Amino acid sequence: MKQLIIAAAVSATLLSGCVISIDKNDLDEQMTSDWQLKHKENRHNIAHLKGNESYQDILNTLGTPAYSERLSKNDAVFQVLFYPTQSLHSDGKMSKDECTPLVFKDGMLQGWGDAIYKTLL
């Protein structure tokens, strides 16, 4: 009988558990990687652009782009900054097709997205 009581006490200790409550928002944030959060932040910032920002204003807001280009066309200088906004390939590498291009003419933002970028090519 003594062995049965000891076995019950040990079993109760081993089988007891604890309950942890996790807020859904905390869980979502924990499961979201740094690059996903950065893409979301870039999409948010780009969605709030007005179109009259300077090149330097954008750098101050969005930081260093993943890619950048500079070209001349019809006596105007264009700069294009590419910010990561989506993952298409899941290969761990960032490519231009996973970025949103921001097009500047003579230092002022003219527009963003593939449509305006393709007009330069």
101: which 2 tokens?
A: 């291009």
Q: Is the pLDDT of residue 34 over 90?
A: no
Please name each of the domains of the chain with its CATH number: 16-120 (3.30.1450.10)
Report yes or no: 49 and 73 within 8 Å, Cβ to Cβ: no
Residue pLDDT, tens place only, 78-118: 999 999 998 877 766 778 999 999 999 999 999 999 999 99
H helix intervals, the chain: 2-15, 24-31, 34-47, 55-62, 114-120
Which of 70, 69, 65 lies closest to 99 in space, CA to CA? 65
